[in-house]
Homo-oligomer: A and B are copies of this chain.
């Protein structure tokens, strides 16, 4: 998606350790007009899928997921990273290792909000090693619901998350895929899609 790639080139900052900082528009400060364009594109890409719900994970997936959901006219559910006293009853749970935070989270979704008849689109800001998405898929399968696809803003193509998901038969649409980036020159090479 050209406007996202252009924005990453303009405002993204490449750091050592394969880190791309896009916190000026994607995951700390959020450009909701850009999210709206991303929502329009995800709707175009997944137009043939009977999506009944969007699932994401806190925190940085939530804003994108909510704006995207307006294009599908479906509710959003976000997986929570810690057990809250406000979530009672039974939950689906999984463990997710965060690339960014270098730790393992317990992640939960109330069983009330994923039903066997649901057709779910997973939305997240980044796809790197794919741990978060794999955890969400596991919870969807535990619920007996259907994974219709995965919509990602920025996929790090050098890491295995995307290729592993695609080899599992999961439809993954990433609006920008980074094939390489250089923290010395700041150069970012996007995959032709």
Q: How far is the CB of A31 from chain B (nearest CB, A)?
A: 6
Chain B residues closer than 8 Å to A87, beta-carbon distance: 23, 28
A141 within 8 A of B: no
Q: How many residues of A contact B (CB 8 A)?
A: 44
CA distance A32 to B112 in the complex (A): 18
Interface of A is mostly: mixed
- A100 touching B86, Cβ below 8 Å: yes
A-B contact pairs, 25 of them (CB 8 A): A15-B88, A19-B86, A23-B86, A24-B113, A27-B86, A28-B77, A28-B110, A28-B113, A29-B75, A29-B113, A30-B66, A30-B69, A30-B78, A32-B70, A33-B70, A33-B73, A58-B58, A58-B59, A59-B59, A59-B81, A62-B62, A63-B63, A67-B70, A85-B100, A86-B100
Question: B-facing mask of A75-107, CB < 8 A → 1, else 0?
Answer: 111101110111110000000000011100000
- B66 touching A32, Cβ below 8 Å: yes
Chain B residues closer than 8 Å to A86, beta-carbon distance: 19, 21, 23, 27, 100
- Taking A30-B77, A36-B70, A73-B33 as contacts, is the C-beta distance between A100 and B84 under 8 angstroms? yes
A42 within 8 A of B: no
Chain B residues closer than 8 Å to A29, beta-carbon distance: 75-77, 110, 112-113
Q: How far is the CB of A106 from chain B (nearest CB, A)?
A: 14
- B62 touching A110, Cβ below 8 Å: no
- A102 touching B75, Cβ below 8 Å: no
